[in-house]
Structure 1
Amino acid sequence: MRIARFTAAAVLPAALALAACGGPESDGSGPSDASPGGAFPVTVADARGDVTLDAEPERIVSLSPTATEMLFAVGAGDQVVAADEYSDFPEEAPTTDLSGFTPNVEAVTEEDPDLVVLARDAEDSADQLEKVGIDVLVLEAATGFQDTYDQLRLLGEATGHAEEGDAEAERVQGEIEGIVADTREAVGDTGLSVYHEVDDAMYSATSDTFIGQVYSELGLDNIADRADGAAEAGGYPQLSPEFVVEENPDLVFLAYPGEDAAADLEDRPAFDTVTAVDNGDIVQLDEDVSSRWGPRVVDLVQSVSDAVITAQED
C-alpha cells in the first residue's frame, strides 16, 4: 500500500490553534490610504481598523509565525529583531521564547520595538503595548486566499516595502492560480471526496476554512461540510469514525505529526473499507504549511494538487 507523504514545510502550532482560522470571510484588512512609494506616515487597515504609522519601523517584533514569514517575504526581515517561539521559518528568523498566544508585555517591550505584529487571538495585548507608545498591527486569521494577498500588501505598506509586498502578493496569487488551472486541466471534474483530519481526535475542517478553500479550489468534495453540527463548530467539526467510513473519502489528509499517524488511521475499525485507505491515498501534510497562510501556501496547494492527480490515476 502506498502512503503519500508530501512535506510542504509550514506549521500548525497546535491542533486547536487551527480552529482560530474559522469564522467569516475576510474582513477586508489590507493597505488603506497609503502614501505612494513607501513614504510615511502611512495608514493601513488591520483587524481592528485603521492604524497610522508615523515612521518606517526599524525594530519589529513578530508574535505570529505567519506574520514572520510574510515580513521576510516582503523584504522587511532585517527590521525584525525578535519573533515568537513558533516562528521557525525562514531559518534566519530571530526566534525567541516570546509567546504569541499569551504575550508578556514586559518581555516584548524589553526588545525595544517600534512595531509589534500580533495574531487576533492575542489582541488583548495591543492596548497595553500602545499605552507605552508602541505601534501594533493585529492580523486576522485567514479564511481564504484573498486574506493572504491582502496581508502581504498590508505588511509591505506598514514596513516601507510597498512594492515588494505587492509583488509578493502577485507572485503567490499567480502561482496558486496556475497550479489550480493545471490541476483542473489534468484531471477535469474529478468528483473526488476529501477528509481533512486536524488531529487524531478526528476534528476536521469544512470548506469555510482556509484549508477548506484549498480543497474547494482544486475541485474536491469535502465530507466535513455534511457533518452534523458543522456550522456550529466554526468550520472545525469533530467527526465520528462511522461518519467517515460511511462517506468513504477518496483522499485523506493528515495535518499533524507522527511517524505512525497514517498507519494508526488505517487500523481504525472498518477504515480498511475506505477508498483512500484501500488505494493508499493518505497524505501527511507538514503541520506548519497546512496551518499558516503565508507565502508557503503555494507549497500546500502544490502538495494537494499532486495528491489529487495521483488519486485520479488510481
Structure 2
Amino acid sequence: MPSARRLPAALLLAALTLSACGGQQSSGQDPPASGGENGFPVTVEDASGEVTLESAPQRIVSLSPTATEMLFAVGAGDEVVAADEYSNHPEEAPTTDLSGFTPSVEAVSEHDPDLVVLARDAQEAAEQLRKLDVPVLLIPSATTLGEAYGQMRMLGRATGHPGKGDEVADRVESQVDEIVEQTAEEVGDADLSIYHELDEGMYSATSDTFIGQVYDRFGVRNIADSAEGAAGGYPELSPEYVVEQNPDLIFLAYGGEGAVRAVGQRPAFDEVAAVRNDDVIRLDPDISSRWGPRVVGLAESVAEALTAAAQEG
C-alpha cells in the first residue's frame, strides 16, 4: 500500500479498505459452535487469532463499513447499536460520527457494546477494548472472494446467526459464479485489458488486491500488474504508461460523470481504446471499495462493461 502521507484522503479510504496487507487472515474454517442450547460459547478466528464469545451479542458497534453491511446481511442488524461515519449502507444502519480509522475507545464505550467489530488496522484500539473486557473482532481486508465469503460465515457464527451467514455466503458466491460464467459465454475469446483507477492521482490496483481479484475472475488483463511498484498492490501509474498499455476499458472508482470526461481530456488519452470507444466506466465508489454482499452488484457492472466492449470488437 502506498504511504499514507502520499495518498489523498479519498484514496486513503479506498486503499485502507482494499488493502492487501499481510498477516493472519480469516480462513472461513472456524471451529464449530459448541456449548449451550443457543450454540454459545462460540470460538471464531479473526485477524488476531481465536476469539471466544461467551454469549450472543446484543449490542454491537461496527467500525467498518464492510462489516456493517455483512452484519445486516447475516441477520445481526437489530443488534448493531452504532456504526462508523462511513457505514452508509444499508439505509437503516445506525451511522454515527465514530471513526473506524482512529477509533476512540472512550467514545465506543459510551455505547455499552458487548461486541466491537474493527478493521485490522485498529489493533491498538482492539487491545484497549479487550482490557475493558469488551469482546472485539478484527476483520482483515479480504484479498480474495473466498476470504470475503469466509468473513460472512464467521460473522454469522459470532452473532448467533450461523445459518443465515452460510446462506448469504452461498448465495453471493453462487451469483458471482453465475455472472462470471455467463459473461465468459458472451465475451467469447475477446482478449480484453482493463485499467482500474482509484483516484485522479492515477493510483491503480493489481490482481493481488480484492478488486483486482474480481477482474481476474473474468479473465481480463490488468495493466497495473506489470507496472513499476506493482508489488505493493497499489502502483501509481503514469499517463505515458497507460497510453502505452492502451487498455480496452477504464474503470473509475471515484467521482461522477465529470471524472469520466476528465479522463478523455488528458494528453494523448484520445489514443487509448477505452476513450475512443467510450468505455470509461464509473463504478459506485462504495461498492467497488468493499468486499461485502454487494460484490454481486460490482460483478454485474464489470460484466456489463466487458460484454459491451467485446461486442464492439
Equivalences for residues 266-305 of structure 1 within 5 A: 266-305=264-303
Q: Contact 2:66/2:291 (CA < 8 Å) preserved in 1?
A: yes
Equivalences for residues 215-254 of structure 1 within 5 A: 215-231=215-231, 234-254=232-252
Does 2:81 match 1:85?
Answer: no
SS of 2:290 mapped into structure 1 = coil
Structure 2 counterpart of 1:148: 148
SS of 1:290 mapped into structure 2 = helix
Aligned counterparts of 1:149 and 1:84: Cα–Cα separation in 2: 22
Q: 1:76 to 1:301 in 2, by over 3 A?
A: same
Q: Contact 1:31/1:157 (CA < 8 Å) preserved in 2?
A: no
SS of 1:30 mapped into structure 2 = coil
Structure 2 counterpart of 1:9: none
SS of 2:304 mapped into structure 1 = helix
Residue-by-residue CA offset, 1:170-211 (whole Å, 9 max, x unaligned): 000000000000000111232100000000000001111111
Letter matched to residue 271 of structure 1: F
CA displacement at 1:24 relative to structure 2: 4.7
TM-score w.r.t. length of structure 1: 0.93
Aligned counterparts of 1:190 and 1:225: Cα–Cα separation in 2: 19
Residue-by-residue CA offset, 1:41-79 (whole Å, 9 max, x unaligned): 000000110000000000000000000000000000000
Aligned counterparts of 1:30 and 1:124: Cα–Cα separation in 2: 24
Does 2:100 match 1:100?
Answer: yes
Q: Any gaps of 5 or more consecutive residues in structure 2? A: 1-8
Aligned pairs, number: 300
Aligned counterparts of 1:219 and 1:31: Cα–Cα separation in 2: 28
Q: Contact 2:23/2:47 (CA < 8 Å) preserved in 1?
A: no
Calculate percent identity across the aligned residue pairs. Answer: 61
Letter matched to residue 286 of structure 1: D
Residue-by-residue CA offset, 1:198-236 (whole Å, 9 max, x unaligned): 0000000111111111111111100001101211xx200
Letter matched to residue 223 of structure 1: I
TM-score w.r.t. length of structure 2: 0.93
Equivalences for residues 64-75 of structure 1 within 5 A: 64-75=64-75
Aligned counterparts of 1:95 and 1:189: Cα–Cα separation in 2: 45
Q: 1:26 to 1:131 in 2, by over 3 A?
A: closer
Q: 1:236 to 1:156 in 2, by over 3 A?
A: same
Structure 1 counterpart of 2:122: 122
Structure 1 counterpart of 2:304: 306
Q: Contact 1:26/1:142 (CA < 8 Å) preserved in 2?
A: no
Further displaced range: 258-267 or 101-110:
258-267
SS of 1:141 mapped into structure 2 = coil
Structure 2 counterpart of 1:256: 254
Does 2:15 match 1:19?
Answer: yes
Letter matched to residue 19 of structure 1: A
Aligned counterparts of 1:19 and 1:62: Cα–Cα separation in 2: 19
Does 2:47 match 1:47?
Answer: yes
Q: 1:164 to 1:257 in 2, by over 3 A?
A: same
Aligned counterparts of 1:236 and 1:269: Cα–Cα separation in 2: 23
Aligned counterparts of 1:295 and 1:307: Cα–Cα separation in 2: 20
Q: Contact 2:84/2:97 (CA < 8 Å) preserved in 1?
A: yes
SS of 2:291 mapped into structure 1 = coil
Q: Contact 1:30/1:46 (CA < 8 Å) preserved in 2?
A: no
Further displaced range: 222-231 or 29-38:
29-38
SS of 2:96 mapped into structure 1 = coil
Further displaced range: 80-89 or 17-26:
17-26
Structure 2 counterpart of 1:212: 212
Letter matched to residue 295 of structure 1: P
Residue-by-residue CA offset, 1:148-189 (whole Å, 9 max, x unaligned): 100000000000000000000000000000000000011123
CA displacement at 1:254 relative to structure 2: 0.3
Residue-by-residue CA offset, 1:241-294 (whole Å, 9 max, x unaligned): 000000000000000123310111100000000000000001000100000000
Aligned counterparts of 1:296 and 1:141: Cα–Cα separation in 2: 15
Q: Any gaps of 5 or more consecutive residues in structure 1? A: 1-12
Q: Contact 1:18/1:291 (CA < 8 Å) preserved in 2?
A: yes
Aligned counterparts of 1:229 and 1:33: Cα–Cα separation in 2: 38
